[in-house]
């Protein structure tokens, strides 16, 4: 049986993907801070889910929790990093930015590094991380969110270069959602909001084909390509 860990599986995209992996006979380690939700998911299929409750913003502790989870699963083939936070911060309060950075940069990096090193030592594996289309350009409402998502996109590209250079079958998939119908879908303008099941289904397929970069849902690729080339005067209107 294949083994996967989903970081941030208590709700939204991570939860949807965990369900699909279990339906496809994976053993799945699920994490998040809301223990009651982890237990609720496990109760749906107790033999398939393994739970570990931790806050990824405590970056120094993530390796301890991941090792515990891997020993419960008896190995690891795929790690999906879905945890993320977006805090609107029009007043540029540093205390708010700090929370976003602690999760989306510090926690993200600790988990990505641990995963890469684990896969390198066992000589195979697949790291999948949910970044965002928001990482392609800046905006005025949540500078730390857009900047941390840009960081994730470039970090994943760097890991992909390292993986290629190692000659090992280690795969890195960067999933860039547009809008998905979860608590994170916050914007003044919401459109093309995908149901969680549809987004998770497309991510599952992208994992199967070991895609390097995938926009979710598919039509967001068009928006992604467009925002990359928009002139600054248009970006400054938003």
Ligand X SMILES: NC(=O)c1ccc[n+]([C@@H]2O[C@H](COP(=O)([O-])OP(=O)(O)OC[C@H]3O[C@@H](n4cnc5c(N)ncnc54)[C@H](OP(=O)(O)O)[C@@H]3O)[C@@H](O)[C@H]2O)c1
Handedness of CA 103, 108, 110, 111 (dihedral sign): positive
Does residue number 29 form part of the binding site for ligand X (CB under 6 A)?
no
Work out which of 177, 203, 204, 214 binds ligand X, going by CB under 6 A. Answer: 177
Token couple for 92: 């540029």
| Distance from C-alpha of 165 to C-alpha of 168, rounded to nearest angstrom | 8
For ligand X, the closer of residues 9 and 73 by Cβ is: 9
Does residue number 10 form part of the binding site for ligand X (CB under 6 A)?
yes
DSSP state of 105: I
* Shortest reach from residue 216's CB to ligand X, in Å: 8
Q: Which stretch binds ligand X (CB under 6 A): 82-90, 162-170, 207-215, 218-226?
A: 82-90
Phi-psi region of 226 (alpha: psi -120 to 50; beta: other; left: phi over 0): alpha
Does residue number 33 form part of the binding site for ligand X (CB under 6 A)?
yes
Encode 68-91: b = buried (16+ Cβ within 10 Å), e = exposed. Answer: ebbeebeebbbbbbbbbbbbebee
Work out which of 1, 23, 34, 169 binds ligand X, going by CB under 6 A. Answer: 34
Work out which of 179, 204, 215, 220 binds ligand X, going by CB under 6 A. Answer: 179
Does residue number 17 form part of the binding site for ligand X (CB under 6 A)?
no
* Shortest reach from residue 123's CB to ligand X, in Å: 28
How many Cα neighbours within 13 Å face the side chain of 74? 6
Question: What SS3 class is residue 50?
Answer: strand
* Shortest reach from residue 115's CB to ligand X, in Å: 15
- Per-residue binding letters, 125-164, with ligand X (x by CB under 6 A): -----x-x--------------------------------
187 burial via Cβ count (<10 Å: 0-12, 13-18, 19+): middle
Q: Distances from the Cα of 128 to the Cαs of 47, 147, 172, 227, 228, in angstroms?
A: 24, 19, 6, 23, 22
Work out which of 48, 84, 89, 202 binds ligand X, going by CB under 6 A. Answer: 84
For ligand X, the closer of residues 5 and 56 by Cβ is: 56
For ligand X, the closer of residues 184 and 227 by Cβ is: 184
DSSP-based helix, strand, coil % in the chain, nearest 5: 50, 20, 30
Does residue number 217 form part of the binding site for ligand X (CB under 6 A)?
no
Question: What SS3 class is residue 172?
Answer: strand
Element (H, E) at 183: none
Does residue number 180 form part of the binding site for ligand X (CB under 6 A)?
yes
For ligand X, the closer of residues 1 and 115 by Cβ is: 115
User: Site residues (CB under 6 A) for ligand X?
Assistant: 8-14, 32-34, 55-57, 82-86, 103, 130, 132, 177, 179-180, 182-185
């Amino acid at each position: 049986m294949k083994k996967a860990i989903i970081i941030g599986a208590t709700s939204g995209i991570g939860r949807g993907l965990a369900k699909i992996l279990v339906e496809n006979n994976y053993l799945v380690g699920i994490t998040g801070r809301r223990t009651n939700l982890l237990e609720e998911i496990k109760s749906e299929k107790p033999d398939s889910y393994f739970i570990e409750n931790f806050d990824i913003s405590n970056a120094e502790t993530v390796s301890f929790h991941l090792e515990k989870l891997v020993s419960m699963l008896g190995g690891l083939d795929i790690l999906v990093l879905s945890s993320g936070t977006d805090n609107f911060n029009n007043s540029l309060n540093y205390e708010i930015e700090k929370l976003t950075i602690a999760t989306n940069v510090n926690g993200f990096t600790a988990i990505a590094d641990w995963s890469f090193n684990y896969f390198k030592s066992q000589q195979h594996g697949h790291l999948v991380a949910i970044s965002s289309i928001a990482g392609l350009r800046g905006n005025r409402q949540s500078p730390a969110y857009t900047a941390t998502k840009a960081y994730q996109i470039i970090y994943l590209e760097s890991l992909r270069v390292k993986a290629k250079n190692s000659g090992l079958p280690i795969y890195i998939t960067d999933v860039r959602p547009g809008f998905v119908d979860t608590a994170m879908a916050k914007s003044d303008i919401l459109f093309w909001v995908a149901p969680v099941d549809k987004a998770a289904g497309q991510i599952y397929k992208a994992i199967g084909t070991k895609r390097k970069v995938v926009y979710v849902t598919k039509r967001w690729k068009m928006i992604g390509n467009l925002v990359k080339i928009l002139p600054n005067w248009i970006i400054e209107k938003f």
